[in-house]
Amino acid sequence: MNRYCEIPACPNFARPGRHTCTSHQARQHRAQLPVEPAPEVDLEEVEFIVRSGLSAADLPRAEQQAVVAQLASRRTPASRIAELVGVSERTVHRWQTGNQAA
């Protein structure tokens, strides 16, 4: 005999031998996954790089993205930003639009 998921208002059948449906089992699993902390950005170092015009190629990715954002706010051309940060122009445009997937 099939029984329903024990989550209130869920119309799905529970998985065999379980109390919840597949959808709720996946949600419960995702809720237990550890959340990675956001990388810390050294804003002083980012500001120094932006003011001095030094290369940001050896900075961590989060700091490189902060440099790109600050240089873009100063209307620096994408080609110059790419040269300073050590990435392609395409990556600069991706980071500016918020698509930060590599």
**What's the pTM?**
0.60
The phi and psi torsions of 13 (rounded to 5 degrees) equal: -80, 145
Q: Tell me the per-residue pLDDT of 10-64, one tens digit each, with 9 for 90 and over.
A: 899 998 888 888 888 888 777 776 656 667 888 899 999 899 988 898 888 889 9
Q: How confident is the model at residue 78 (pLDDT cuts 50, 70, 90)?
A: very high
Q: How confident is the model at residue 66 (pLDDT cuts 50, 70, 90)?
A: very high
Question: Domain boundaries in the chain?
Answer: 1-35, 43-97
> Which CATH number applies to 43-97?
1.10.10
Cα 67 from Cα 57, distance rounded (Å): 11
CA 20 to chain centre: 31
Q: Residue 84's closest CA among 71, 97, 99?
A: 71
